[in-house]
Structure formats: C-alpha cells, structure tokens
Structure 1
Amino acid sequence: MSVRMQGAGEIRVPSAAEGSGPSGGRRLGIRSKLFVASIVLIGVSLAASEIYLTRALEAQLLESIRDELLVRARLVAERASGIASASDDVRAFDRLADHLGATARGRVTLVRRDGTVVGDSGVAAEELARLDNHAARPEIARALAAREGSGTRLSSTVRERLMYVAVPITDQGNIVGAARIAVPLDRIDLLIGELRMTLAAAALVALVVAAVLSWFAAQLVSRNVRQLTAAARGMAVGNLSLRTRIPGHDEVAALGHALDQLAGNLSRTLEELRAERDLLDGILASMAEGVLVVGPDGRIVLMNTALKAMLLVSGDPAGKNVLHVIRNANLSETLGRAREGAPAEMELELGGLMPRRLLMRARALEDAPGSVLAVLVDLTELRRLESVRRDFVANASHELRSPLTSIRAAAETLESAHDDPDGAKRFIDLIVRNAERLQNLVDDMLELSRIESREVQLELEALELDAVAERVVAHHLPRAEMKRIALGCASGMPAVRADRRALEHVLGNLIDNALKYCAEGATVRVGAARENGRVRISVADDGPGIAPPHLERIFERFYRVDPGRSRELGGTGLGLAIVKHLVEAMGGTVAVESRVGAGSTFYFTLLAGA
C-alpha cells in the first residue's frame, strides 16, 4: 500500500504481511498482531463466559429441582410416616412407594432405620431384597441423622444420572427411616446441551462481528504506526525531509512528533557537517601545498589535489601504503619521528617522469593517535631558480670579468705608452670596444630583468607585419651590406597582434644574431605565414647551422654555441633569452630548426591581427 505524506510525496509502506524476518520467513505486522490478539482475547472471553453461564445455569437448575424435590420428599415422608406406624409389611411400603412415585413423578425409595430398602418405585417388590443397604448413601445418612440430604450421581440400580433428596421419616418424634425421591437429570443435560449450542452459535456470531470490528480497529491503530515506520525507513536511507505529520495527542502522535524533531535536528547537523566538509575540501583543493594524512597502519587517509598533481597520482590513493605512492627511503623514518610527537622536516627528492624536490613537514594528529599530518611544498621551481641564479651570477661575473680585464690591461699598458702614439690609440680603441661590450651586457641584463619582473608593460595591438619587418630590415641593411649578406623580407605577410616595440626588438635580435654568424655571401630572410589561427614568423639563414646538442639550450641565458667566437663578435649571450621572454609575454612561442652546414631558422608565433 502507499501512504501520502504532506511535503514528502508518496512513499510505499509494506503491508503487515510483507517483509521477512532475519531468517527469511514471513512475519506479522502490528496490524495482524493487534487483530490476532483481539481475536484471542475475544475467544477466551467467550469461552470463559460459556463455561461460567452453563455452570451457573446448571447450578441454578439443580438448586431449583432440589428445592422442588425436597418439598415432594417431605410429602412422601409424611405419608410414609402413617404407614410405618401402622404396619411393617414390606409389600405395603412398596405399594406406597409405587403410588407416591407416580404421584410425585419421581423415583421414591423408602428406607428403614437400619438402611434396608422396604419400597422403591423403580424396583419390583421381588427385587428389593437384592438391593444394597442404603445406610451409607450420603443423602440417606444425612436423613437418618435427622437432616435433609441431597446428591447427584449415577445410580448403580437404574444406571442413570439422578438427583437424590432424602428426608427423615418420623413416628412420634422418632426417626424410623428415610424417604428419598430421585429424578433423572437427562432433561437438565438436554437443556444444558441446547444452551451450549445456543451459546456457541451466539459466540460464533459475536466472534465474527468482533473479528470485523477488531480488524477495523487494528487498521486504525496500525495506520499511524505504519506511517511512522515508513517515515523512519525513509529517514534511515538519508531522506531527512520526510515528516510523519501524525495528528492527535496520544503516544503514537508523541512518538511521531519526536521523530520529526529528531529528523530536523539530524538534517541541520548534517547540513553543518556538509558545509564544514565542503569548506575543508575547498581549502584543501585550493591549496598550492600538498596535504597528506597517513593512518597508524601506514596507509593513506587523505591526499589533496595539489599533492596528487605533484606526484602524478591518478584516482583516489586512500587505503594504499604511503611508501607505494611516495617512493623515498627516508619517508618512513620521518613519519616515525612525527608519530613519536617530534616535529619532523625533510626534503624529498623524487624521480620519475617529472623529477621533484619536495619539502615535507609532518606532525602527529592529536585527535587521531598514530596518524600523521604532512604538508609538502614543491621546491622544484625554487631550487631551479636558485640554480639559475647561481649560474647567472657565475656567467655574469665571467662575462663582466673578460672586458674589465681587457680594459684594465689596456689602461695599465697605456700608462707606459707615452712615446708610442699609435700603440696608445690601439689601446684606447680596445678600451672603447670593451666599454661598449660592458654597456651592451649591462643593458641586456637590465632589459631581461625588467621583462622577467614584468616591469615592461606591453600593449598588444593589430600591426602590419610588412611595415614592422621592413623597418627592422632597413635598420640592419648597412651592416648586412658591409658583410655582403643578402638581407630581405617577404611581402604580403599577415597582420599580427603584438606590442610594436617588443616585436621590433625580437626581429632585431634574431636578424642581428643571423648577421653575426653568417659568412659573406649568405642570405637572411624574414617571412611569415598563417598557421592554425596564428601567425608563424621566421628568420631564416643559410649560415653554418647549429649542432643538435645545442638546440635545446640555445635560449638559455649566457649560453653560446661557440663562446670564443661569440665574445669576439660582441655578443652578450642574452639576446635569444630576451627574444624568448618577449615572445612568451605576447602569448606566443619560440623555437629553432637547424642543421649543421644547412643554415638555421628561428621562428615564433603570435596571434593573428585580423
């Protein structure tokens, strides 16, 4: 059946006969239990009533018959008293018994003082002598003792169930015998049987009526209970919006109200827990640091998104042994120290596809004995930057030392060249060239620093690439002509979206780099083409080319393919690093393709201008 609850839709309620107990058998619902209990109580009540009524009626009928028989027995005793005083003839007594038995409509028995039967309306005179002495009969004994006696038993003479009433027979105040009258109780048994049949029929009708009424009463009583059960089952599976809405003020209604209040409290508590959980999940997910919780058994309890990304872990690692996920020999020792209550800190160096260096700080969780909370910070980039800084300082020091050494040596030599004007001029030229080299190096270092610190504000706009390239080419054309290098650019190149100054700087550095290393008669050409919604700009030359081992590092600071020749040509080793940073700042990428003896092509991509 279904019970409709306000605000909770319709939910199915199993009937009383549905469901099974723990052993899988059928079980009675409360409705059936109430019905069965009512039927049993009604049946017991009807049976008790039937037993009581039949016994009470039988007792009342027997009492009425005894009273009536007592009256008859007194009359019989009075008549027998006259004959007893006049004659001792047994036959006279028997005739009197027969006559009185017919008159009294019962079996009349006359007994002498000694218990001898001298007359019996139910026995022939010839058979009287064979009868047992009746002095021991209870009713006769009471009558001979001057009291009235009665009893009900099966007669040994006529083999019937009889009621006996005996009274004393007196003669001039003396007890001379007893008169007894007996009637069969078959009529009483028949009446009692009929009464029992009537009561049984009435009880059956009453039982049917009571069963119907009990069924409806059980329905009414169990409906609210079944509604409570349905609501409780719904709440048990998590639907805490259900409410019983039981009307009334009885115990069932009070239970329903308590259940509604419990559901409301649980719902509010769960909402608070969900909010706290979501807040914690949000905090853990937004943290750049990795968070790891390890249980007492060394298995992972929690790992946040950042740590999964650091370790390249897919899926949920909860339940796995931490040493299987983070493979480091010192990890177990560090976690052990943390479990002992001492703050533990160490750097983990992890290999694999993406080598990492992680700083881990671990502490024991106070509310979870044996568990450890660890926070891991990715130091990979920091260590890389430290290495870059060290390399930069070393390279910059080396680059600065060479021209400074040359300037110092030239200056010291110049001091002693008073009589050699030509030598003095050569040393002055050397000082000027190295000073210019220092100036260029400092300028490039400052430019690279501004770009990396984002102090250079780029303004991206749609630019005609033809005009920008022609202007840069024109600026470098005299130098190209001096080296007899053919320098030019393609026409009809697509527009790009870039910062004008940065684009000129990138093209200028790439052309300058090509002119430095190309020999006389070489060709340097600027070109561009659309590619996947972007513009690919290239500076190609047919110079000496670059060996493959150098291609991956060509854009690093101070990296030179031929350090000696580069310094001789006045290069600072920062030009291509500046190109890379400027292109990336404009949203592009830069790369190089080269073969030794076949020239090089430096290219970069920018957004299309239209």
Structure 2
Amino acid sequence: MTMENEQQGMQQDQVAQQDVMGQLKKIRSSLRALQDAVILLNDDDSLEWWNQAAEDLLLLQSNDKGKCIFDFITVPEFRQYYQSMTKPNDGVHMASWRDPKRYLKCELTPFGDEKLLIIYDVTRLHHLEQMRRDFVANVSHELRTPLTVMMGYLENFSGQPDMPPHWQRGFELMTQQTARMNRIVNDLLLLSRIEIEETHELHYIDMTKLLTHIYDDAQAYNTEYNHSIHLQIDTYDGLYGSEMYLNSALSNLVINAIKYTPKGGNITISWARTSDGCQFSVEDDGIGIEPQHIARLTERFYRIDKGRSRATGGTGLGLAIVKHVLYQYDANLQIESTEGKGSTFSAVFPISHVRTAAPL
C-alpha cells in the first residue's frame, strides 16, 4: 500500500506540475501577443524573460538573458523610480532614450520573488495632454488683458460720487465678479506654469524661515476671522526645491483652513521630522469634510459647497495647485477630516528631498 500511495503521490505531483507549466505557457503566449513591452526581472535586476514588444523596444537578443535592466534603460528617471519606488502606483513617465518625440510609461509590479516591468507607449496621450495644457495657458493669458481693462474702468466708474444708487449696486457686482475671474485666471496660469515647466530653479529652502513668513501672512489674513493660529516647528530640517511654488502650495492649505473654520477657531501649523522624511501639517477645528468628497478634493474646480466657496473667494484650483507642486517633490497629500469637528491636511515629503542644512 505504501508503494502504491507513493506512486499515486508522484503521479499527482507530475499532473500538478504539468498544469502549472501549461498555465505558464498560456500566460507567456498572452504576454507575447501584447503590444506593450513586458519584461520579467529576477531579484538581482537581471532579465529573465521578455515578449516580442520588449525585444523590439530594447533591441534585445537571446544572449541578453541574465543581463541587468539598467544596461538597456539608461534614463535617470527610470533608475530613480526603480530604486526608490516612491510612486509605484503612478509609474514613471519619460521620453524614449532613442526617440525624444516618443514618450513611455514604466510600471513595476512585484511578481512572486521576481518583478514584472511593463512599458507602455503613451506618446499620443502625452501630446493630447500637452495640447490641453497649452490651450489652458494660452486662453488664460489672453484673458488677462481684457480683464485688466474692465477692472480699470469699473474702478473708475464705481468711484463717481454722482452715480445713481441702483447703478452703484450693479457696478459693485461687476467689480466682484471680474475680481473673481481675475483670481481664477491667475490660478490657471500658475497651474499651467507648474505643469509645463520641466525644470525650476532649485535650491535649499529654509523651512523655518518660510513657515514663519507663511504664519505672518496668515495672521494678516486672519484679521476678520479672529482665529487662534499656532506655529509649531519641531525640526530645523529644510527641503531642496523651488521656494516660490512650495510657498504657494503650503499657503493654500493654511488659507483654506482659515476660510473654512468658523470665527474664533483654532488652527495649528506644524513642521516635523518623520521616520521617512518630513511632514507639514495644518490642523483646524472647522466644519470638516464628508468622506465621499475627500478623494476628489484635488480635482480642478471641484467644490463641496459651491455657494460657500464663491462666498469665500475660492477658485476651486487651490488644492489642484497643491497636488501638482507636491508631485514635484515626490510628496503625498494626506487628508484626515471629521464632519463638524475639523480637518488635518498634511504634506509628507520623502527623505530624498530633505536637507539638514543649507549648502555652503
């Protein structure tokens, strides 16, 4: 009986192995048919297997098996993404190393003890996105001149002492709406610059100095709200990046907390070191946000309460600006909120962008 059981067990193992091999053959056949490049990598970053699209893209040959992936993809953005995996869900976009007009997206996924690298050709999507950015930037720029003329004339006419009262109200409304449109145009232009500019003037940012400046501006803005605003700095660590854009993003978070907290509230601005980097937070005891809205807050022109947003002078672009600025730092925007109790908006910066002191 023992020999028979062993033979049956061996036969079952053989059948199971055959099933596994059959499934693997099907998977590989399917991957070979894909137009996107698929590469299976060992844990030492060497090539194990690839499909025809990957062979065409990287000019691979049969004797390239076992070679390092970095011998074939030399783009610095890919190496940084591969090694740090700071944005694993988004992958990394980059221009092709052979054809600068061609754009690729790489996504790395754990595959057991190995890694699966998929490379998509996103040239068409990249061009469409570029067209959208250029369109928004050009339209926003063209609107500035007529808006400036309109605002100038409205300011002159509104100050006339002999203007009839019923006309005065109309001019006040036109002045308010043109000012609001001007804020929207300015935010759109800022957002377009952040998206279009691939390089910025990067330097050491003294966060203590920057946050003190943001705190002083917040106190000036706080005059009509009468909030109690606190600044808490627990580390002298700074960041490496563009101070102008970072100032805009962090100021947006602070101003939002002031606007959406009932008068006499408490707001805490903090900067602290974490195990993975540094974190900027703005905590308030304001109106809070319902859970279903949180995931969409960084969308352009998304508003929870359109009437309240217009009343507070919001453009619906502030958090979109924050999102795009933080993306340049590989940072994440974390939002915690309870309706009726308050919210905490945190910008979490990875250690790769943290600097302990200004360079000499």
Q: TM-score, normalised by structure 2?
A: 0.56
Q: Please, which of 291, 302, 307 is the counterpart of residue 37 of structure 2?
A: 307
Distance 1:379 1:460 in 2: 32
Structure of greater Rg: 1
Q: What residue number does 2:183 align with?
A: 440
Aligned amino acid, residue 552 of structure 1: A
Query: What is aligned with 2:230?
Result: 488
Higher relative contact order (CA 8 A, sep 6+): 2
Q: 1:419, CA displacement in angstroms?
A: 7.8
SS in 2 for 1:532: coil
Q: Secondary structure at the match of 1:490?
A: strand
Whether the 8 Å contact between 2:252 and 2:319 is mirrored in structure 1 is yes
Q: Deviation digits for residues 212-265 of structure 1, max 9, x if unmatched?
A: xxxxxxxxxxxxxxxxxxxxxxxxxxxxxxxxxxxxxxxxxxxxxxxxxxxxxx
- Equivalent residues in 2 for 1:267-286, closer than 5 Å: none
Q: Cα deviations across residues 505-537 of structure 1 (Å, max 9, x unaligned)?
A: 122111111112111111111112211241111
- Write the mapping of 1:203-242 to structure 2, written as runs, cut at 5 A: none
Match of 2:258 in 1: 515
Q: Distance in 2 between matches of 1:470 and 1:567?
A: 29
Partner of 1:451: 194
Residues in 2 aligned to 1:508 and 1:470: alpha-carbon distance in whole angstroms: 11
Q: Kindly indicate whether residue 273 of structure 2 is the aligned counterpart of residue 543 of structure 1.
A: no
Q: Pick from 331, 335, 339: which aligns with 1:596? A: 339
Kept in 2, the 8 Å contact 1:487–1:523? The answer is yes
1:262 is aligned to: none
Whole-angstrom CA distance in 2 between matches of 1:521 and 1:554? 25
The residue type paired with residue 427 of structure 1 is G
- State the alpha-carbon separation in 1 of the partners of residues 255 and 186 from structure 2: 16
Q: Which residue of 2 aligns with 1:266?
A: none
Q: Structure 1 residues 477 and 300, CA, compared in 2 at 3 Å: closer, same or farther?
A: closer
- How far off is 1:422 after superposition? 2.8
C-alpha separation in 2, matches of 1:593 and 1:543: 12
For residue 348 of structure 2, what is the aligned residue in structure 1?
A: 605
Aligned position for 2:299: 556
Shift of 1:474: 0.8
Structure 1 residue 377 displacement after superposition: 6.3
Contact 1:525 1:540 in 2 (8 A): yes
Asked if residue 497 in structure 1 is aligned to residue 255 in structure 2, the reply is no
CA distance 1:429–1:455, change in 2 (3 Å)? farther
Classify the secondary structure of the residue corresponding to 2:313.
coil
Q: Which residues in structure 2 correspond to 1:211-360 (within 5 Å)? A: 302=32, 306-308=36-38
In structure 2, relative to structure 1, the CA distance for the partners of 1:377 and 1:497 (3 Å cut) is closer
Cα separation, 1, equivalents of 2:199 and 2:121: 29
C-alpha displacement at 1:579, in angstroms?
1.0
- Given the superposition, is the C-alpha separation of residues 523 and 300 from structure 1 closer, same or farther in structure 2, using an over 3 Å criterion? closer
Q: Is the 8 A contact 2:210 2:247 kept in 1?
A: yes
Query: Structure 2 vs 1, CA of residues 534 and 317 (structure 1 numbering), >3 Å: closer, same or farther?
Result: closer
Preserved CA contact (<8 Å) 2:233 2:271 = no
Find the counterpart in structure 1 of residue 215 from structure 2.
Answer: 473
Displacement of 1:588 after TM fit? 2.0
- The corresponding residue for 1:572 is 315
Does the residue aligned with 1:605 lie in a helix, a strand or coil?
strand
Task: From the superposition, tell whether residues 456 and 434 of structure 1 become closer, same or farther in structure 2 (CA, over 3 Å).
Answer: farther
The number of equivalent residue pairs is 240
After TM superposition, list the pairs within 5 Å mapping 1:10-29 onto structure 2.
none
* Amino acid paired to 1:478: A
CA contact (8 A) 2:234 2:273 kept: no
Of 262, 270, 273, which aligns to 1:530?
273
Deviations 1:249-294 (A, max 9, x none): xxxxxxxxxxxxxxxxxxxxxxxxxxxxxxxxxxxxxxxxxxxxxx
Consecutive unaligned residues in structure 1, runs of 5 or more: 1-298, 310-314, 319-352, 355-375
Report the alpha carbon displacement of residue 385 of structure 1 after superposing the two structures with TM: 6.3
| Aligned CA distance change for structure 1 residues 481 and 379 (closer, same or farther; 3 Å) | same
Q: CA RMSD in A?
A: 4.2
> C-alpha distance in 1, partners of 2:182/2:329?
27
Query: What's the CA shift for 1:445?
Result: 0.4
